[in-house]
A and B are shown apart, each in its own frame.
Chain A
Amino acid sequence: MKIKEGYILREVAGTNVVVNTKEGANLGRMITLNASGAYIWKLLENDCTEEDIISSMLSDFDADADVIRRDVNAFIAKMREAGIIE
């Protein structure tokens, strides 16, 4: 899975903002991400699996594996619901 074409993540005043740059898209809906959301987003810019993300986070973050697994799962579910990943 990966981020759909047209969606970009940019930092504005230190805040991670996601917008859709596709012509005619409604920019009314904007998403802001926290640091771990932005970390996952960057991995999703290239095709990867949920397990890839979890193992990458396990090596980069000092957090409980169950917590990471649960948070990644929830993040991906939200992104799918918003139609941002394919």
Chain B
Amino acid sequence: MALYRIAALYVKMEPRFKTLVSQSEAYLTNESRAPDIDLMIPPERIKAYNDVYPYLSEDDAEYIFYGGAFYSKLIPFGGFMLHSSALAYEGNAYLFSANSGVGKSTHTSMWQKAFGECVRIINDDKPAIRLIDGVPTVFGTPFSGKTDKNLNISVPLKAIACISRAEVPEISPMSPEKYVPFLLGQMIRPAAKADMLLGLLDGVLKKTPVYDLKCNISTDSAIVAYNTMKG
């Protein structure tokens, strides 16, 4: 049995296929203790999931199923997943959320182009957010969507942007009436834990500004975003 340290929690799991095995490697711990989260999932459950989605390889089915299970089990530990590309810069984490295909990863790659190697991608698609001592904190996890861009680091959350495409980059504060439904639409929301999840989101949003970011594929978009989101 292997023990992993993910989002400052001890996680027991035994991945079998290449993607999850390689992406989890950086999170392995030699410590020996009882896990906080038990992710020992019988192969037949993955197989049953794969039967529902036969176009997935066994490898992808395992990776996706484990990710969903982890983020669902994270909620009672005060954490949740926000579908976003998360970066760290100058000791702060910035999240860029949108539906698939809008350009979350493209935008964070523009930050790297604009500001250099000191911009690090914490998790390119599915970062974990937990309130640690009252501070919203972003964690890299092995579950980072289609790319392997994730780091086993944690960084205090500075700001969130909901992004859309536009000819000219522009950023403005977003109203809660707009961003609450938007962000809820970008989360894993198990019905039975919905009450808990809404409380967690409220706790994070009380301390985190949310912006409406219109961006194109240019470093200008990154600069416009940074100048406002840094506070």
Given A10-B199, A13-B206, A27-B189; A32-B181 close (CB under 8 Å): yes
Is B195 a contact partner of A21 (Cβ separation < 8 A)?
yes
Q: Cβ of B191 and Cβ of A20 under 8 Å apart?
A: yes
Q: Is A30 an interface residue (CB 8 A)?
A: yes
**Interface range, A side:** 20 to 34
- Check A13/B205 contact, CB under 8 A, given A23-B191, A23-B192, A27-B194: yes
CA distance A14 to B201 in the complex (A): 12
Q: A27-B189, A32-B181 are contacts. A15–B176 as well, Cβ < 8 Å?
A: yes
- Interface bits B175-203 vs A (CB < 8 Å: 1, else 0): 01101110011000111101100110110
B72 → chain A closest CB, angstroms: 12
Which residues of chain B are near A17, meaning CB under 8 Å? 180-181, 184, 198
A43: Cβ under 8 A from any B Cβ = no
Number of B residues, CB within 8 Å of A: 19
A22 interface hit (Cβ, 8 Å): yes
Task: Count A-B pairs with CB separation below 8 Å.
Answer: 59
- Cα–Cα, bound, A15→B183 (Å): 12
Distance to closest chain B CB from A82 (angstroms) = 15
Task: Contacts A21-B191, A21-B192, A22-B191 given; indicate if A30 touches B202 (C-beta within 8 A).
Answer: no
Asked if A19 and B198 sit within 8 Å, CB to CB, the answer is yes
Tell which of B194, B202, B205 touches A19, judged by Cβ atoms closer than 8 Å. Answer: B194
For chain A residues 16-54, which have a beta carbon within 8 Å of chain B? 17, 19-28, 30, 32
**Is A67 part of the binding interface, using a Cβ–Cβ cutoff of 8 Å?**
no
A11 CB–B CB distance under 8 Å: yes
A63 CB-CB contact with B under 8 Å = no
Residues of the B chain whose Cβ atoms lie less than 8 Å from the Cβ of A30: 181, 184-185
Cβ of A32 and Cβ of B194 under 8 Å apart?
Answer: no
- Beta-carbon contact of B202 and A27 below 8 Å: no
Q: How far is the CB of B62 from chain A (nearest CB, A)?
A: 23
- Can you list 16 A-B pairs with a CB-CB distance of less than 8 A? A8-B195, A11-B202, A12-B180, A12-B184, A12-B205, A13-B206, A19-B194, A20-B191, A22-B192, A23-B192, A25-B191, A27-B190, A27-B191, A27-B194, A30-B185, A32-B180
Residues of A within 8 A of B (CB): 8, 10-15, 17, 19-28, 30, 32
